[in-house]
Structure 1
């Protein structure tokens, strides 16, 4: 996948993290910056982040399937913005692909097994993201990145990006050597100053080890979000997770917990608030600009690939 990219990387369109400033910085560094519209996105929020984007030569927009089913004007707004690439994931209705193509916009979606890859390719999706279980945020947690990438590459005839746990030159080189057209990067960019990440979440990410993540639905249940049960979220463990994990049915009916969680999120209280994080989070050591992170990743990966050649 080239599309004029100098670096084989895109940022994952992480809701609440990947705003216009982050997308602009990724594009300026030579990759493709993606604005992420997550669980609570609206057309107005997208308009705000597009204002923060400025006028880069290329950018992408990422949407959540079930959100645009509830808010069709969000998809309309995304198409009207004329992105270089449109991503929609977390659903089985692929009718959005034809709408994007009618507007001349290439498409991408996340896949989790051979069946979903074949279905997306059959619907005309232009690029697939093989998103492994190591990745932060929501996903189908069945296969790790490299086994999934192998399986998808065996069946795909379109470019395949790798996602999940890619946070160092070594892991980037590994997926490129395995045949990925590029990497879909999330957690390794979440602590960058250009990200929408709050200060408390940024500190938590930098302090975390790779073993500090868990997969859970407690934050979706606690916030009354309509995420399908097949897509739990990989997050940093905290007090709220410890208290409610395995008790999701009780949590769904507990209004006090809902209020407590909302207050914790508003206060950026890391004892309560969710922080999406993949298993590569242990590679984060400080908050560095996007350009610095991507230069280190891609220069190091190139050197490793040249050594192996």
Structure 2
């Protein structure tokens, strides 16, 4: 039985209207299965260089309803990712960071719900025109990749006004209070990433978890330094939010110099392989300041998010009361 009823809980038979974000490098099949067992929609994140075989392996581990997140910009070079996703028949596919149009109909024919992550109202309109079933409105506070043009709350308000499909809020939502806030505004649910990065089922290494535990709300930054250094091929219109470290402090504002400095790129690769905490990227949103750093089961975090139901009831009781 759902604690809170929305399109998301009704469509996927969830206890809580939350999607565990499809975070590449964090969310695999085991992660998705644990999230689903906890009563939310589990997610598997597919990195740009992941193979179709890896997707097949992870999908075999996932249970019940779950989502697979694909990076559209990389599918031309890795068509096996989309082929493996279709064959896996996940409940939901997130097609983001590019034009989803060429892929939407095939997903629908396979009975898969399609969502797309957007960072502006214009992008939301375009995704709806492409035929997606729901929008993930991701504000600039969010961790990992996207755009940093609009914050979550103003973006959510704007997108809700102009689209006629369900809207899932993303970016900076890490507690029951955040979940209650976006639901009260009209969102169908929340797409939550950073709050789950330190869970037991996350594939994030312990040293990265320790960095997150020590981070405050002001210790993330949005930029393109890590993408340049890693030579990943991300399109220039997208950047990423990650923990601030010595490498970002050194190169932010000097991205062109970094891209042209082969020795600096080689030093980055060596330091990253050595897991130097002052170099490696730890993708995280501004919700990092709300983490306590303990490696807890996803189910514990979901239980705490469930307190949003009580917060919404309390807010409803205030409506209509005389001052």
Range of TM-score over shorter length: over 0.9
Closer, same or farther in 2 for the Cα pair 1:129/1:251, shift >3 Å? same
Map of 1:163 onto structure 2: 170
- In 1, the alpha carbon distance for the partners of 2:106 and 2:261 equals 40
Map of 1:50 onto structure 2: 59
Shift in Å, 1:51: 4.0
RMSD: 1.2
Map of 2:300 onto structure 1: 292
1:206–1:287 contact (8 Å) kept in structure 2? no
Q: 5 Å matches for 1:208-287?
A: 208-285=215-292, 286-287=294-295
Shift in Å, 1:224: 0.9
Map of 1:5 onto structure 2: 14
Map of 2:29 onto structure 1: 20
Shift in Å, 1:93: 4.6
Shift in Å, 1:41: 1.9
How many residue pairs match? The answer is 306
* 1:281-309 residue CA offsets vs partner (Å, 9 max, x unmatched): 011102211000011012x2111101011
Residue 145 of structure 2 is aligned to residue 99 of structure 1: no
1:137–1:278 contact (8 Å) kept in structure 2? yes
1:63–1:87 contact (8 Å) kept in structure 2? yes
Map of 1:85 onto structure 2: 92
Map of 2:41 onto structure 1: 32
- In 1, the alpha carbon distance for the partners of 2:35 and 2:250 equals 37
Q: What SS is found at the alignment partner of 1:95?
A: helix
Q: 5 Å matches for 1:64-75?
A: 64-75=71-82
1:194–1:290 contact (8 Å) kept in structure 2? yes
Q: What SS is found at the alignment partner of 1:88?
A: strand
1:198–1:268 contact (8 Å) kept in structure 2? no
Map of 2:321 onto structure 1: none
Shift in Å, 1:92: 2.4
1:62–1:86 contact (8 Å) kept in structure 2? yes
Residue 192 of structure 2 is aligned to residue 188 of structure 1: no
The structure whose Rg is larger is: 2
Structure 2: gaps spanning 5 or more residues? 1-7, 317-323
1:117–1:152 contact (8 Å) kept in structure 2? yes
- In 1, the alpha carbon distance for the partners of 2:59 and 2:277 equals 29
- In 2, the alpha carbon distance for the partners of 1:245 and 1:39 equals 23
Map of 2:152 onto structure 1: 145
Shift in Å, 1:270: 1.3
* 1:17-44 residue CA offsets vs partner (Å, 9 max, x unmatched): 1111111111001111010002332213
Shift in Å, 1:243: 1.4
Q: What SS is found at the alignment partner of 1:157?
A: coil
Shift in Å, 1:184: 0.2
TM-score norm. by structure 1 comes to: 0.96
